[in-house]
């Protein structure tokens, strides 16, 4: 997954209508040695070039968050694992994230459950899907 050579800009693309996603975006800290973290709300910034790149790659933002790091896009469980690998040890959220999701197997098992919770929260809030893969 990661070669250990990556540094620079890290983009976390999340659903701004999901309270858990928003908390994760605000709580996530990346080790300083890795690079700068940028947050991108997929609902608020629909015309951002990175959203266009994600859409062109066929990644469904209703099915998972995206981490853009180097020239790669990580989606869903892969993004969760990258967050764990790049995260700092600052704060309980980052320590828990690293402990749980460094393992690809655990990330793959946990992510569908997390996505189901996110989808339930979105429905309860009455928010429409992001729909980045549907024609506007």
pLDDT confidence tier of residue 51, bands split at 50, 70 and 90: very high
Q: Which domain holds residue 67?
A: 8-125
Top-confidence range, 75-79, 93-97, 131-135: 75-79
Asked, for residue 130, whether it belongs to a domain, the answer is no
Asked, for residue 131, whether it belongs to a domain, the answer is no
According to the model, what pLDDT value does residue 7 have?
Answer: 53
Q: What is the mean pLDDT of residues 71-81?
A: 93
How many structural domains is the chain composed of?
A: 1
Mean pLDDT of the chain: 87
Q: What is the mean pLDDT of residues 60-86?
A: 92
Residue closest to 95 by CA, chosen among 107, 83, 105: 83
Asked, for residue 136, whether it belongs to a domain, the answer is no
Top-confidence range, 18-22, 37-41, 107-111: 37-41
Asked, for residue 64, whether it belongs to a domain, the answer is yes
According to the model, what pLDDT value does residue 20 have?
Answer: 87
Asked, for residue 132, whether it belongs to a domain, the answer is no
Asked, for residue 1, whether it belongs to a domain, the answer is no
Whole-angstrom distance, CA of residue 74 vs CA of residue 53: 12
* Strands annotated E in 1-135: 8-14, 35-41, 66-69, 72-75
Q: What is the mean pLDDT of residues 51-79?
A: 95
Asked, for residue 102, whether it belongs to a domain, the answer is yes
Percent of the chain whose predicted confidence (pLDDT) is above 70: 92
Q: What is the mean pLDDT of residues 73-83?
A: 93
Instruction: Indicate the pairing of strand 8-14 with strand 35-41.
Output: parallel
Residues 6+ apart with CB under 8 A from 114: 20, 80
Asked, for residue 27, whether it belongs to a domain, the answer is yes
């Amino acid at each position: 997954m990661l070669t250990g050579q990556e540094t620079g800009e890290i983009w976390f693309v999340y659903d701004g209508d999901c309270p858990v996603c928003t908390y994760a975006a605000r709580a996530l800290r990346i080790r300083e040695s890795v690079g700068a973290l940028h947050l991108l709300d997929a609902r608020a910034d629909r015309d951002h070039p990175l959203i266009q790149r994600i859409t062109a790659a066929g990644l469904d933002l209703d099915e998972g968050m995206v981490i853009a790091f180097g020239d790669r896009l990580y989606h869903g469980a892969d993004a969760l694992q990258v967050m764990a690998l790049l995260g700092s040890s600052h704060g309980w959220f980052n320590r828990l994230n690293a402990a749980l999701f460094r393992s690809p197997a655990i990330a793959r098992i946990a992510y569908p459950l997390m996505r189901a919770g996110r989808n339930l929260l979105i429905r309860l809030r009455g928010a429409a899907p992001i729909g980045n893969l549907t024609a506007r």
